Amino acid sequence: MKKVEAIIKPFKLDDVREALSAAGITGMTAIEVKGFGRQKGHTELYRGAEYVVDFLPKVKVELILADDQVDDCINAITAAARTGKIGDGKIFVSDVSRVVRIRTGEEDEAAI
């Protein structure tokens, strides 16, 4: 099992959700986060004063998947979230050693 974490632009969340659903991937968690990478923030003008905004709003999408679903997931997220501009985001994949469904006690892939 794998955990896929994707940091994407907020306005791309619905597109990513629809792409994952079309790929047969259900169940995800979306969290509003702030951060920066190479983009390094930007400046905004508010009431005539210029402010530096270091942390940009992003959405972190988390999914736990069977190993054979990971490539489809990455392809769906990449296609749906790409704008071709800086700040499109990143995808991280890590191993998951155990999953337990609290309600039934099911474990591992049966719990996904």
What pTM value is reported for the model? 0.84
Reported confidence tier of residue 40, pLDDT bands at 50, 70, 90: low
- Please give the distance of CA 69 from its chain centroid, rounded to a whole number: 15
What percent of the chain shows pLDDT beyond 90?
71
CATH of the domain at 8: 3.30.70.120
For residues 10 and 26, what is the distance between their CA atoms, to the nearest angstrom?
Answer: 19
Domain count, the chain: 1
Q: For residue 41, what are the contacts with CB-CB under 8 A and spacing of at least 6?
A: 52, 53, 54, 55, 56
For residues 23 and 29, what is the distance between their CA atoms, to the nearest angstrom?
Answer: 17
Domain around 54: 2-110
pLDDT, residue 54, reads 75
